[in-house]
Amino acid sequence: MRSYGIYKVKEMYQPFIIGRERLLYDLLKEDEQKNNCMPEVHYLCDRLEEKMIDEAIIANLGEGFTSIESRNGEYKLTHPVKGSIHISLSSYSLNVFCDGSRMLDLDLFVALSGAADRFFAVMDGYGEWGWLKPVKTTDFRAYEEATYL
Contacts of 141 (CB under 8 A, 6+ apart): none
- At 107, give phi and psi (nearest 5°): -60, -45
How far, in Å, CA of 138 to CA of 15, rounded?
Answer: 9
How far, in Å, CA of 118 to CA of 35, rounded?
Answer: 22
In the chain, the percentage of residues whose pLDDT exceeds 70 is 87
Confidence (pLDDT) at 136: 65
Residues of the chain with pLDDT under 70: 35-37, 125, 136-149
Confidence (pLDDT) at 125: 66
Among residues 101, 73, 76, 72, the alpha carbon closest in space to that of 86 is found at 76
Confidence (pLDDT) at 148: 46
3 and 125 Cβ atoms separated by less than 8 Å: yes
Confidence (pLDDT) at 146: 43
